[in-house]
Structure 1
């Protein structure tokens, strides 16, 4: 007896959850979406390869679920599942080309988002590399300035050594001239 009451209760609950939208008996939760789809795109199941109303209704329910997911952006986690459902609806000749356009836009947005993330990551890495290059440049500049100072010091040293050598050469020439002049003066002069 309890099973019969439960079955009757279950059946009446099920029937109260079902609403007729343009001849299709769909769940009440899908009514608003299906009415909006029919208003914008017409009877998308009119050319369905399946002739039974229950099979067409199944595909319309699936389309409504896909639309809900697209509208609430739940697509991201289950794109493959949604793609399969849309492909099944297309195979049944349900007009879902307008959903396909949303997929293309979603895929482009997803691709652009991925590219954007990669570019941000690359920018971050370039910033780190730039910072390292700037530090290296500062170190090399300091080394260069130190080398420049050592070069200038060595250059001054070479100039001083050159002057010392020239001065030494002059002293040597002067001393040699003096030596040579003493050799020319004999101690005793013969007449």
Structure 2
């Protein structure tokens, strides 16, 4: 269904909602709004950002018109079932949603994660007023996934850092044991030499004893 958007639009409201720099700045690219919004020209030309314009029948500040128009263009009139009937109350709530979307788009994902609970509470407040805000819920669900993946990644990195420390300690101990082993092997070699030398001495003594006994036997005959 086509939704009429703006009766007036200011050139200062020309907004690229997801720029090519989003990934570099750590922002989550989920297409929560269209990538661009084309402003409608007026006979008077550009208007001041603080002037009031009509967006889908709601009188709002020109500074919020582009974003609200983009929301209506993609999701329809999110205030159609709002429990508040007055236009002023609905405009206030729509401004609240525009501000929420602005924060989701402009802040780095790490910053959004730190305020995730607050933002979810704000979405719940909008839902309580019967605004159709299931789409930012989907966006927040993706941020939750990013948060969980980040937490797992941090755990893995910590485990990796701990394993490196353990490996370093074990390597140092191994090197010390190898030094001790080499020293022990040298000690074994020296002990073997000593034993062999004593065996030779003992053998010579045995030979001398046998010679002495043979000589003694010879003279006793």
TM class by smaller structure: 0.7 to 0.9
Q: Which residue of 1 aligns with 2:86?
A: 52
Does 2:206 align with 1:172? no
SS at match of 1:51: coil
Aligned length: 169
Map 1:12-161 to 2 at 5 A.
17-73=51-107, 75-161=112-198
How far did residue 135 of structure 1 move? 2.4
Higher relative contact order (CA 8 A, sep 6+): 2
How far did residue 172 of structure 1 move? 2.1
| Distance in 2 of aligned mates of 1:27 and 1:84 | 25
Consecutive unaligned residues in structure 2, runs of 5 or more: 1-49
| Distance in 2 of aligned mates of 1:88 and 1:161 | 96
Change (3 A) 1:177 1:22: same
| Distance in 1 of aligned mates of 2:81 and 2:114 | 31
How far did residue 136 of structure 1 move? 2.3
Normalising by structure 1, report the TM-score: 0.77
| Distance in 2 of aligned mates of 1:20 and 1:75 | 31
Select the structure that is richer in helix: 1
Consecutive unaligned residues in structure 1, runs of 5 or more: 1-15, 186-191
Normalising by structure 2, report the TM-score: 0.67
Q: In the TM superposition, what whole-angstrom CA distance separates every residue of 1:81-128 from its partner, at most 9, and x where no partner exists?
A: 211110111222222111111111112212222332333333333323
How far did residue 77 of structure 1 move? 4.3
| Distance in 2 of aligned mates of 1:20 and 1:77 | 35
CA RMSD of aligned residues (A): 2.1
Query: Which shows bigger deviation, 153-162 or 83-92?
Result: 153-162
| Distance in 2 of aligned mates of 1:175 and 1:152 | 35
SS at match of 1:105: helix
